[in-house]
Structure 1
């Protein structure tokens, strides 16, 4: 029998038929300065900007980024690209509320200061050591390097707004939590 889920209190053993086809599409982070955040996520983490949507009446913009397979065909036509973006897995939505970039005192809560809530997003990399060298070259700030603490082979970096990003190499995660 194929694996379907780990069982813990509160876990539904079988996904309801009505949820077939549901896909976790994206998570959203609010960003102070979209240019700085887009540089970090596209240049340092290699994500592609798939779509920008502006909402002038509400004074905010949305930026949708993702890691795509090399052969992914992204539609040029805006409405088709919207459908493409909202059908993907693992999309990051950056939300910019206009004007925050020009307020030197403005900060978003990173979720890890008190009161804690949101914690982090995670990026899987093929080679953790190479990723660490790349982050070091780009002077990316760390919360935790892979050799620090009790959880070895896991790093946490910070983006330009202070959000935590876990960095893991799947091949080195076998002993986590055991």
Structure 2
């Protein structure tokens, strides 16, 4: 009886007030524990369902860069694994490739030609980070490293470019 009372006290002091309301009418620590298990197992089952829905409907947000997008996928996979759903690395790789924007179509074709042993999540992430940088550079029309500097300044009535040459 003393052990049961101690166990009840531990349970009551360990749970949130909302959860404690479910256990207030229980007569033993075993009954309290069983009630908690039934509540959280049910949540766990519905959580898996909700996370799987998110997994299958996930799309890249236009505001996300590619690494943020990949982090969202990895987070979902991790949360599913915690709940007992096995998400192998190859499934994460496939999910990432399936929902890439059209701008990555050449990257996907190149990825498909990589040997299976090289098609790791780590290689995919680093390749996509490099590709994203290349896409942003080509969106600007030219490489920033080779772009002529259009800035000029005036000195003594003459206009000079960034390299100090007179442009007037």
TM range (shorter): under 0.3
Query: What's the TM-score once normalised by structure 1's chain length?
Result: 0.20
More strand by share: 1
Which structure is larger by alpha-carbon Rg, 1 or 2?
Answer: 2
Query: What's the TM-score once normalised by structure 2's chain length?
Result: 0.21
More helix by share: 2
